[in-house]
Amino acid sequence: MDMHSDNEYESALRHLYEKTLILHDAGLFNKVLYFYFLDSLAHIDYTLGIYSFNYQSPKNIMSGEYLRWRIDEEKKGDRVKFPAFVNWLKERDPKRFALLPSLWQMIYDTEDPASYRAFRIVLDPDSRQEVPANFFYAVIDEFFENEFLKSLYEDASLGILFQTFIAEQKP
């Protein structure tokens, strides 16, 4: 099934698909941060897919199945601690929190109403409006900013902060 030719979300989806990690060794990223990085991209992809394709298109069905699988995966190991880490960072280091991709700030901040609903990104649960296409360009670009990607390495700033958070959680 083709994308709707007049759909403004098509180009946002292409914008995501044109990104690359070729300059980074994702194998050296902090495993939890990498999981949530890919998880966010999957939610962006799914939301844009719903806006661009028929809901029952194979692309959306496959993406939904993949996201259902990830529900169990996020409960493994230190992955379950990531939402608390984001809120810890907000309290402990607001400047560093502000450097996180805005999607992470919105979804995981316990005071923000944004969430993943049926795997879609929903910024305001009381609104029936689609998320504006320009929002997706902005969040995609944030996830692929070089400084952010460099911070995901195990021995880099965000990786070290996550390890500090984990160490502080242990009795």
Q: How many domains in the chain?
A: 1
Would 2 be classed as within a structural domain? no
**In contact, 123 and 106? CB cutoff 8 Å:** yes
Helix ranges (H only) for the chain are 9-17, 31-52, 58-73, 82-92, 94-99, 102-108, 133-143, 146-151, 157-169
Average pLDDT over residues 77-89: 97
The structure's pTM equals: 0.92
φ, ψ of residue 134 to 5 degrees: the values are: -65, -25
Would 15 be classed as within a structural domain? no
Classify residue 116 by its DSSP letter: E
pLDDT at 170: 77
Would 63 be classed as within a structural domain? yes
**In contact, 137 and 12? CB cutoff 8 Å:** yes
> pLDDT grade, residue 1 (50/70/90)?
very low
Would 3 be classed as within a structural domain? no
Average pLDDT, the chain: 94
Would 55 be classed as within a structural domain? yes
Would 57 be classed as within a structural domain? yes
Would 17 be classed as within a structural domain? no
> pLDDT grade, residue 167 (50/70/90)?
very high
